Amino acid sequence: MCGIVGYLGRRNAMPIVLEAIKQLEYRGYDSSGVAWHSDGKVLLHKKKGKVSSLEATSILDEIESNLAVAHTRWATHGTPSDVNAHPHTDATSSCAVVHNGIIENYESIRQMLMKRGIRFETETDSEVIPQLIGYLYKGNFLRAVQRALPLLQGAFAIAIIHKNHPGEIICVAKECPLAIGLGQNEMFIASDSHAFLKFTRRVIFLRGSELARVTENGVQCFDGRRLPISKETEDLEHAAVEISKGNFKHFMLKEIYEQPQTIQNAYLSRFSEQYGTAILDEISLSDEELLKIQRIVILACGSSYHVGLLAAYMLEEKARIPVEVEISSELRYKNPIVLDNTLVIAISQSGETADTLAAMRELKEKGAKIIGICNVQGSTLAREVDSCLFLRAGPEIGVATTKAFTSQLIVISLLTLRLARMRQMSQQEGRHYLQALIQLPQQLYSILARVNDIRELAKKFAHYENFFYLARRFMFPIALEGALKLKEIAYVNANGYPAGEMKHGPIALINPNCLSILLFPDQDEVTFTKMINNAMEIKARGGVIFAVAVEGTKDIEKIADALFFIPRTKDIFLPILSTVVVQLLAYFIADLRGAEVDQPRNLAKSVTVE
């Protein structure tokens, strides 16, 4: 997935689009580029790597233009290179295109145009867009784009400028996000509105399959059948927030440290201790409808999927409702069964992950009621679900999620409490549940206060090339998350497993060069002794163990080669405390190995292509 922006107005477009595209670098940073209009020509400058390497060439410092588009890339077709970087032009350099998404039938269009003598410069799918528009252009820019669109298959968002049309940008959204910012005699275009929030909060969101012809003084919108449509202008409440690392070396570390606060934000004014229940006014379903729920389907990707797995344990244990957790990209093509009284929960930090959006739409079409759990106001998911529970975690910049993950867990804990209190959970039990929940920020501070211990452990472990994360019940999804974090940012082979599953295969990999990280529950918890047995099985094969255990756990020192204690709390909330330990461990190992922690290779903050 990529980020695209555009500017048209009276100011110099270059500094504006460069500033805006940097805001979208979380969407991909394999290459970047800009195209601008100048004296009847469309010129461009593009480079492999981040926007910083584009700017480093200082070519752009001298550029003055009131019309420009820019791009930051997450490569899908064609290796990251200067040539494959966007923008792309047609063979006569008449128009330039920036594209987010995938043109699935690009090969046949390419062949068709090559037969007509069109020469292609790049390996990308995107280049077929300007080449097709260039081929169809007969003087009417809008018409050429409208004639090209029906030939393009896939989900995409594009912005196009043309040398003969210095006063307009044409942009198209087809199942991919695109926002148009309305300023005073100037217009902004971006994949995500926060890229231009600094300049305007008046926004038009293109949806479904829509096209917009943007000029300095206005926007004309058309639907997929080329019919003019009027679009609502939304005033976004949330303002642009200056996002800086402060004194932290990386956004990821800063966001880990924000968690005591973001956890509080997630539950503030969302519970009543007196009634021992959660108050979730954002949910539009009535109490009757919530009481009738007989099945819950959760869909998500990546770390959000791990939150979904933990949600299933919570909801089944506390609310006694059967839960299925689905990986969105699989559910999408599974022809899912939606029975009456099925609640769907779609979890996505960004609210833009294409797999989750597609799966959500599939279930919605089948009549399911959808609750979204999301961190981005104005995101596609937030706008399409029946109710959205926002995380209130603030923008998350680090590509590997941290604070959004624990905030998702808090929101899920509140939803669990709400549904459980409507069923068999007593007011007293509800109160105890909330008392444990509101202690979490303080307990997190106590873990962060011992960050040096985790940094020292990371120094001990950073040389390992193979890691197992093992746990049971509520802690198992955190074992998966811990392993994913190490894979994502330190590029190390790490696998999360239910501890009981080790003996059915993976234990074959245990040796003194493999580190096993065991996440222990409280020693009173039913699986504690089973975890001890699993630890003994690993020790018996010369494996090395780092144990994360609850304060006061006895005799664990005898088994573990390294140990970190976390504060005691309810078994349902222990995963939130152990999450911060595995986040910090992955962070320090990645930093010690010199990895680009905030923008790991090959990843993007959320992926808007299937």
Contacts of 609 (CB under 8 A, 6+ apart): 1, 76, 101, 102, 155, 354
Q: By CB under 6 A, is residue 606 in contact with ligand BG6?
A: yes
C-beta of 90 vs 598, nearer to ligand BG6: 598
Phi, psi of 73 (to 5 degrees): -110, 140
Task: Confirm or reject binding of residue 607 to ligand BG6 (CB under 6 A).
Answer: yes
Of 65 and 379, nearer to ligand BG6 (C-beta) is 379
Among 200, 265, 329, 356, contact with ligand BG6 (rule: CB under 6 A): 356
| Cβ closest to ligand BG6, residue 413 vs residue 606 | 606
Cα separation values, 237 from 44, 291, 347, 377, 378, Å: 35, 33, 23, 9, 10
Q: Give the span between the Cα atoms of 508 and 269, in whole angstroms.
A: 50
CB nearer to ligand BG6: give 76 or 303.
303
Single out the catalytic residue among 2, 374, 388, 514: 2
**What is the contact mask toward ligand BG6 in residues 246 to 285, using x (rule: CB under 6 A)?**
----------------------------------------
Interface pick for ligand BG6 out of 353, 527, 534, 578 (rule CB under 6 A):
353
Residue 356 C-beta: closest distance to ligand BG6, Å: 5
Beta strand spans in 39-155 (E) = 41-48, 67-72, 88-89, 95-101
> To the nearest whole angstrom, how small is the minimum distance from the Cβ of residue 355 to ligand BG6?
8
Is 2 a catalytic site residue?
yes
Q: How far is the CB of 353 from ligand BG6 (least distance, A)?
A: 3
Maximum CA pair distance of the chain?
81
**β-strand partners of 194:** none
Ramachandran bin of 584, using left for φ above 0, alpha for ψ from -120 to 50, beta for the remaining angles: alpha
Strands 95-101 and 88-89, by their bridges, are antiparallel
Q: Which candidate, 33, 65, 19, places its Cα nearest to that of 166?
A: 65
**CA-based end-to-end distance of the chain:** 9
Question: Could you tell me if 344 and 368 are in contact, meaning their C-beta atoms sit under 8 angstroms apart?
Answer: yes
CB of 209 to ligand BG6, least distance (A): 22
Does 303 sit near ligand BG6 (CB under 6 A)? yes
Provide the minimum distance between the beta carbon of 155 and ligand BG6 in the complex, in angstroms, as a whole number.
Answer: 15
Among 417, 82, 124, which residue's Cα sits nearest to residue 280? Answer: 417
Considering only residues 584 to 603 of the shown chain, the ones binding ligand BG6 according to CB under 6 A are 603
Q: Which of residues 369-428 bind ligand BG6 (CB under 6 A)?
A: 399-401
Q: What is the 3-state secondary structure (H, E, C) of 539-596?
A: HCCCCEEEEEEECCCCCHHHCCCEEEEECCCCCCCHHHHHHHHHHHHHHHHHHHCCCC
Reported for 446-450, long-range contacts at CB under 8 A and 24+ positions apart, including other chains, are 446/567, 447/566, 447/567, 447/577, 447/580, 447/581, 448/256, 448/257, 448/260, 448/580, 450/564
Q: Could you say which residues in the range 27-46 bind ligand BG6, by CB under 6 A?
A: none
Residue number, 395 or 506, with CB nearest to ligand BG6: 395
For residues 108 and 602, which CB has a smaller minimum distance to ligand BG6 in the complex?
Answer: 602
Cα–Cα distance between 350 and 373 in angstroms, integer?
Answer: 10
Q: Which of 6, 87, 134, 302 binds ligand BG6 (CB under 6 A)?
A: 302
Residue found by looking up tokens 């109160």 in the block? 431
460 among known catalytic residues: no
Site for ligand BG6 in 333-352 (CB under 6 A): 348-350
The answer to whether residue 301 forms part of the interface with ligand BG6 (CB under 6 A) is: yes
Give yes or no for residue 608 binding ligand BG6 (CB under 6 A). no
Q: Please, which residue, 400 or 514, has the CB nearer to ligand BG6?
A: 400
Comparing CB distances to ligand BG6, the nearer of 16 and 400 is: 400
Q: Minimum distance between the CB of residue 491 and ligand BG6, rounded to whole angstroms?
A: 14
Q: Total number of residues binding ligand BG6 (CB under 6 A)?
A: 17
Q: Alpha-carbon distance 549 to 527, whole Å?
A: 13
Q: Which of 22, 46, 47, 605 is catalytic?
A: 605
Question: How far lies 404's CA from each of 104, 466, 565, in Å?
Answer: 32, 27, 24
Interface with ligand BG6, residue 161, by CB under 6 A: no
91, amino acid identity: A
309 binds ligand BG6 (CB under 6 A): no
- Cβ contacts of 33 within 8 Å, gap of 6 or more: 44, 45, 46, 47, 54, 70, 71, 85, 86, 87, 98
State which residue, 188 or 476, has the beta carbon closest to ligand BG6: 476
Applying CB under 6 A, which part among 286-294, 297-305, 447-455, 557-565 lies near ligand BG6?
297-305
Q: Using the rule CB under 6 A, which residue among 72, 304, 342, 599 binds ligand BG6?
A: 304
Least distance (Å) from ligand BG6 to the CB of residue 160? Answer: 27
Nearest to residue 326, comparing CAs of 308, 352, 303? 308
Binding site for ligand BG6 (CB under 6 A): 301-304, 348-350, 353, 356, 399-401, 603-607
Query: Among all residues, which ones are annotated catalytic?
Result: 2, 605
